[in-house]
């Protein structure tokens, strides 16, 4: 049985030297391995192919029984590692809290403990006919977050 650690051992040094990082490695019982990698500049398909070859060379024949997929996480996928949060600063995100509450806004900062988003809200200003946009800042501890996804604003 191939393990997550075997995959990580095969690719981490190369990824790090090339400026990439591992988002997730999932070795499924259905004999499918999914490796997600990312960088600040995105991941070209050619690089995914080269990492796939690296895994095949390192693991050898025991990988023949497995379906291997190496890719970058899609835009609708939850952010999983801290480097992804840093990459998404100044981008639109959706935050879902453990209690089910949803917030949408621009990720303005991230630390190892929390993230801060700025949400645009239309508020009624006394004495004015139209609602005006106000920026509300929300701080969320990672302990209270169920998921964070980058979103596209149309």
pLDDT tens digit sequence for 77-102: 999 999 999 999 999 999 999 999 99
Axis crossing angle, helix 45-59 with helix 4-18, rounded to the nearest 10? 130
**In the chain, beta strands by DSSP E:** 21-28, 32-38, 67-71, 92-97, 102-110, 114-124, 131-141, 145-150
Which residues face 133 on adjacent strands? Answer: 122
Q: What is the pLDDT of residue 75?
A: 82
User: pLDDT tens across 100-117, in order?
Assistant: 999 999 999 999 999 999
Collect all residues with Cβ–Cβ distance below 8 Å to 123 and sequence separation of at least 6. 131, 132, 133, 134
Q: Where are the domains of the chain?
A: 4-71, 82-150
- DSSP label of 87: H
The model's pTM is 0.86
Domain 82-150: CATH class, spelled out: mainly beta
pLDDT tens for residues 24-76? Answer: 999 998 999 999 999 999 999 999 999 999 999 999 888 888 999 999 998 88
CA distance 18 to 48: 12
Beta strands 67-71 and 32-38, pairing class: parallel
Pick the CATH number of 4-71 from 3.10.580.10, 1.10.290.10, 3.40.50.300, 3.30.300.20: 3.30.300.20
């Amino acid at each position: 049985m191939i393990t997550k650690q075997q995959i990580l051992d095969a690719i981490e040094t190369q990824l790090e030297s090339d400026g990439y990082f591992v988002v997730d490695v999932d070795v499924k019982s259905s004999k499918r391995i999914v490796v997600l990698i990312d960088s600040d500049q995105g991941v070209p398909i050619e690089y995914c192919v080269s990492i796939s070859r690296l895994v095949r060379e390192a693991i050898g024949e025991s990988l023949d029984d497995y379906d291997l997929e190496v890719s970058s996480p899609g835009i609708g996928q939850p952010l999983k590692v801290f480097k992804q949060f840093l990459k998404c600063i100044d981008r639109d995100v959706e935050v879902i809290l453990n209690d089910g509450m949803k917030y949408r806004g621009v990720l303005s900062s991230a630390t190892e403990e929390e993230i801060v988003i700025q949400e645009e809200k239309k508020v009624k200003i006394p004495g004015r006919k139209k609602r005006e946009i106000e920026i509300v800042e929300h701080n969320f501890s990672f302990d209270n977050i169920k998921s964070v996804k980058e979103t596209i604003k149309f």
